[in-house]
Amino acid sequence: MDSLMSPLLILHNVMRWVVVILAIYALARMYMGIFGKRDFTESDRKSLTWFAISMDIQLVIGLVLYFGKGYLSVFQNMANAMGQATVRFFAVEHISLMIVAVILAHLAVIFARRAQASAGKFKRGAIYGTLAVLALFFAIPWPWMAQYGPRPWLRLAEAAFFWFA
């Protein structure tokens, strides 16, 4: 199973940046629409949709990693797991916040679509998109979060080693 986990972890890390870029793009379109007072276009809708789809892909990869790394066993001895910052973060906090972020990204798409006026579409997309990004920000194990172990910005060196070794 470890031979599958390494490439998935690399893919999960690279996909993080796809999600972040699509989130920035979608939010930029939402806020430019709000402040520019323009009509909500198909491109605006697609920006939110692609952000939500990227979140779905990231969630599926993350769930495979979650179950593959055995984090479910943490719930057998919850008191011990809660005392270890890294285990607690990945077994409980990371996955919980990411599921919330995926839900919020989809709510941005749904509520933007349901609004009647362009201003309402942009406003709803911006509100729920921003909440999704906030959840993402707090759930990503950034390199400066030393308590969760060393985290690279991008696992390209590992990817190169894995594919060419």
- Mean pLDDT of all residues in 105-113: 96
Instruction: Give the range among 66-80, 101-115, 149-163 with minimum mean pLDDT.
Output: 149-163
Tokens of 88: 């607690």
Residue 159 identity: A
Rounded-to-10 torsion of CA 15, 63, 7, 157: 50
Specify the pTM.
0.84
- The Cα–Cα gap between 148 and 142 comes to 9
String of DSSP letters for 67-121: HHTTGGGGGGGHHHHHTSHHHHIIIIIHHHHHHHHHHHHHHHHHHHHH-SSHHHH
Residue 162 has pLDDT above 60, yes or no: no
- The Cα–Cα gap between 126 and 36 comes to 14
CB-based contact 80:23 (threshold 8 Å) = no
Confidence of residue 26 (pLDDT cuts 50, 70, 90): very high
Residue 4 has pLDDT above 90, yes or no: no
- Mean pLDDT of all residues in 48-72: 90
Each domain of the chain, given as residue ranges in start order, spans 2-141
> What percent of the chain clears pLDDT 70, i.e. is strictly above it?
81
Please choose, from the candidates 99, 118, 115, 127, the residue with its C-alpha nearest in 3D space to the C-alpha of residue 26: 127
- The Cα–Cα gap between 140 and 12 comes to 11
